[in-house]
Amino acid sequence: NAGVTQTPKFQVLKTGQSMTLQCAQDMNHNSMYWYRQDPGMGLRLIYYSASEGTTDKGEVPNGYNVSRLNKREFSLRLESAAPSQTSVYFCASSELRGAVGEQYFGPGTRLTVT
Amino acid sequence: KNEVEQSPQNLTAQEGEFITINCSYSVGISALHWLQQHPGGGIVSLFMLSSGKKKHGRLIATINIQEKHSSLHITASHPRDSAVYICAVGGYETSGSRLTFGEGTQLTVNP
């Protein structure tokens, strides 16, 4: 099993460009999450999907959209990138629906917006 | 005040030392997680606990629900334990499916 995979691993964008970060898990997990990690701050939740077909905003959703394409895949879209979105982005999944279970993290995407 | 506070922020130890990292939280929770972030950036779950104590190899995690406090202990520390250790809490008052994370403790174990 690959666990949680993310693409790309690195990305540089110019201000105003758009891109989609892809995440997939092969553990048949119900819940999936997108986090960002910035220096000096803890991981912060951007969006999550407690089950296939549902998505909810987290702590820092502004400037992002998500799609739970199916049970395996959960993508994060930046419509118009801004320098404040420079960060490391982690996708995670957990088995439990609507509750917090052990989370499995992807390797992260390092995004720089110039 | 953050919902999850970790101490210390940075910790340097000599190989073989017993290490303790502390986590205090201010809300009711259903579970507390300890995570390890490797120098390369990957994050792995070490423990999820809601009461008592769990042990895995040289790592021990304890939680006191009444005092809203958890500790992560590493016995016989080794340089490969050098990493950032992150405490996170979830459930009940933290909005359903969400986890709230501490800022992490940077541990360096010198040979």
Q: Kindly list the residues from chain B whose CB atom is less than 8 angstroms away from the CB atom of residue A59.
A: 98
Res B29: pLDDT:
81
- The Cα–Cα gap between A4 and A27 comes to 8
Q: How many CB pairs under 8 A join A and B?
A: 63
Q: Kindly list the residues from chain B whose CB atom is less than 8 angstroms away from the CB atom of residue A27.
A: none
Neighbour count for residue B95 (Cβ, 10 Å):
16
Number of residues assigned to chain B: 111
pLDDT digit string, tens, across residues B9-26:
999 999 999 999 999 998
Q: Indicate the SS3 state at residue B92.
A: helix
Res B24: pLDDT:
96
CA–CA distances in Å: residue B90 to residues A20, A45, B81:
28, 12, 25
Q: Do A107 and B4 touch (CB under 8 A)?
A: no
Contact predicate A78/A62, CB 8 Å:
no
Q: Do B42 and A108 touch (CB under 8 A)?
A: yes
Query: Vertex A97, ends A46 and B66: CA angle to 5°?
Result: 85
A1 burial via Cβ count (<10 Å: 0-12, 13-18, 19+): exposed
**Is the CB of A50 inside 8 Å of chain B's CB atoms?**
yes
Give the pLDDT mean for A7-13. 96
pLDDT digit string, tens, across residues B63-103:
999 999 999 999 999 999 999 999 998 865 445 567 889 99
What stretches of B2-110 show up as alpha helix (H) in DSSP?
A: none
**Is the CB of B91 inside 8 Å of chain A's CB atoms?**
yes
pLDDT digit string, tens, across residues A59-87:
899 999 999 989 999 999 999 999 999 99
Neighbour count for residue B78 (Cβ, 10 Å):
12
Query: Vertex A69, ends A61 and A103: CA angle to 5°?
Result: 65
Using CB atoms, pick whichever of A31, A90, A100 lies closest to residue B30: A100
